[in-house]
Amino acid sequence: MTTILYDLLMHTLVSLLRVASLFSPRLAYAFQSRQTTWPSIPAGRTVYWFHAASVGEYDTLRPLASRLLTEKPDAFLLFTVFSDSAMKQRSLDSLPHLLIPLPFDTRKNAIRFMQHFKPRAVFYSRYDVWPAFAREANARKIPQFLISAILPENSKRLKGISGLLLKQAYAGLKKIYALNEATAERFRAAGLRNTESAGDARADEIRSKMETLLQRPETSEKANRIFSLLEKSRITIVAGSTYETCEPMILDAIANQPDFSAILVPHHIDQKHLSWLKSYLEEKKIPHAFYSDPSAKSERIVIADTLGVLPALYQTGDIAFVGGGFEGKIHNVLEPALHGLPVLSGPAFRNSDEAIQMHEQGFLFSLEYAWPETFAKAVIEHSGKTKEIAKFFETVTGATEKIYNDLRLYL
C-alpha cells in the first residue's frame, strides 16, 4: 500500500514541478537535462551503476569505480547524480563512461532505466537510495550496495512514513557499508542488520586527488604565486570555502594581530562577492593582495580568487578555518587533516561525520559566534600542525579496498 501511495505522490510531485519549471530556470534545467536520449551500451560491456546525490557523494564513489575498472577493463561505468551542480562540476571527469542526471523516482522511469542499462550491480553513495529505483533493481535481482553510509545521531530519515519507505529500500540492499562503527550501530538499531563498518571511501579520493593536484603544473603555478604574495607571520591561517558571514571575523582578527597572516579562499568567486570583499577591505583599510591582481604586492592577507587550488594551500598553514559552519553545513575537513592542520569552524559541523570525529578527538574546534576576538583567541590556542591529526586521516583511509574485497563476489 505504501509503495502505491509513493508512486502516486511522485507522479503528482513531478507534474507540479513541471508546471513550476515554467517560472524557474533551475527547475527548467532539471527537466531539460533529463530529456536527453540515452546512448546504447557497446557490445560486450558490463554496466556497473554508481549513483550520488551531489559532488561530495560522487567523490565517495569514485575510488571504488576506479578500483573496479582496473580489475574489470570491460566494465562500463555509469554514473548518475541528482543535483545540477554535480552534473556541471563533474562533467569533464574522464572516469565515467557515461554521466547523466538520475531520472525522477517514478516506477515508469525506473523500469525504463533498468531495461535500457541492465546494470550488473548498483552502488549508492552515503544515503541517496530512491525507493522506486531500489524496488525495481530488487525485482530484477540486481545486487545493491550503500557505500560509506551515514546516519547522523537523532536523524529522522528512517522515521515516519518516508522512513518506512526508506527502510524497505535499505533492507533490500546486499550490504550497507557504514562510515564508522557508531553509524553502523544506528543502522542496526533501526533493524537493518545488513550493515558493517567500513570507513570513508571519500578519504581515499581526497588523497588521490591531492596527489594528482600537486603534480599539475597549473596548480603549482597558482599555489606558488599565492605563497609568493603572502607576507608570512608567526601563525599562518588558511581559510577555505569562506562566506560573507565569517569573512569579516577572519579579516578583522588578522588586521588586529600582527602575528597572523592568512590565505582566504572564498566559496563564491563571482564578481558580486569579490566586489563586496574588496569594498570591505578598503573601507576597513586592511592591507591585502588579490591573486587575480597582476600588480599585487606581498601582504599578510592574500585573497585566492581562483579555482582548484585550495587543497594545495593547506600545506603552508599552521591552522585551518573551514567555512559552512556559520551557514548551516560545514565543508570538507579532511583536506586540512591530511596536512595535519587543526580546524576551526562555526557551530554547524554535525552534518559531517568526519568533523564530528575530529571534534571528539580534539582536532576541530567550534566557534559559537563569528566574533574576531573569539577567532583570534582560538587561533592562538590551537594553531600548530600535529602528527596526531595526520594519523587521524590515515585511520579513515583504506575503505575502498576493504569494501571492494568484500563485495567482489557480486561483480
Per-residue pLDDT tens for 38-69? 999 999 999 999 999 988 899 999 999 999 99
Instruction: Quote the domain boundaries for residue 157.
Output: 2-200+398-410
Same domain, 32 and 171: yes
pLDDT at 289: 97
- pLDDT band at 87; cut points 50, 70, 90: confident
List CB contacts of 63: < 8 A, sequence separation 6 or more.
201, 204, 205, 208, 400
* 189-208 residue pLDDT tens: 999 999 999 989 988 988 88
- pLDDT band at 1; cut points 50, 70, 90: low
Same domain, 196 and 218: no
CA distance 267 to 300: 20
Alpha helix stretches (DSSP H) within 190-270: 201-215, 217-229, 247-255
CA distance 47 to 74: 9
- pLDDT band at 166; cut points 50, 70, 90: confident
Same domain, 164 and 30: yes
Average pLDDT, integer, range 89-94: 88
- pLDDT band at 24; cut points 50, 70, 90: confident
In this model, does residue 390 exceed pLDDT 90? no
Same domain, 240 and 183: no
pLDDT > 70 fraction of the chain, expressed in percent and rounded:
100
The total domain count for the chain is: 2
**Of residues 313 and 87, more confidently modeled:** 313
CA distance 139 to 225: 56
Burial of 189 (0-12, 13-18, 19+ CB in 10 A): exposed
* 109-123 residue pLDDT tens: 999 999 999 999 999
How far CA 381 is from CA of 65, 342, 343, 378, 389, in Å, comes to 42, 11, 12, 5, 16
Q: In what order do the strands lie in the sheet with 144-149?
A: 98-101, 75-81, 46-52, 121-125, 144-149, 175-178, 195-197
* 207-220 residue pLDDT tens: 888 888 878 889 98
**Of residues 142 and 157, more confidently modeled:** 142
Q: What is the mean pLDDT of the chain?
A: 92
| Amino acid in the structure at residue 302 | V
CA distance 140 to 95: 27
Same domain, 222 and 106: no
**Of residues 307 and 318, more confidently modeled:** 318
How far CA 379 is from CA of 23, 85, 289, 370, 372, in Å, comes to 46, 33, 22, 13, 10
Same domain, 346 and 217: yes
In this model, does residue 72 exceed pLDDT 90? yes
Same domain, 256 and 377: yes
Angle between helical axes of 399-407 and 201-215 (0-180°, round to 10)? 120
Same domain, 82 and 31: yes
Q: What cell was used for 385?
A: 600542525
CATH of the domain at 149: 3.40.50.11720
* 153-165 residue pLDDT tens: 888 888 877 778 8
* 252-308 residue pLDDT tens: 999 999 999 999 999 998 999 999 999 999 999 999 999 999 999 999 999 999 988
Same domain, 183 and 246: no
b/e string for 149-158 if b means 16 or more Cβ within 10 A? bbbeeeeeeb
**Lowest-pLDDT range of 18-27, 124-133, 319-328, 339-348:** 18-27
Same domain, 274 and 380: yes
* Contact present, 150 and 116 (Cβ < 8 Å): no
Same domain, 140 and 181: yes
pLDDT at 186: 94
In this model, does residue 140 exceed pLDDT 70? yes
In this model, does residue 32 exceed pLDDT 90? no
Same domain, 196 and 247: no
* Contact present, 87 and 53 (Cβ < 8 Å): no
CATH of the domain at 226: 3.40.50.2000
Average pLDDT, integer, range 146-171: 86
**Of residues 32 and 132, more confidently modeled:** 132
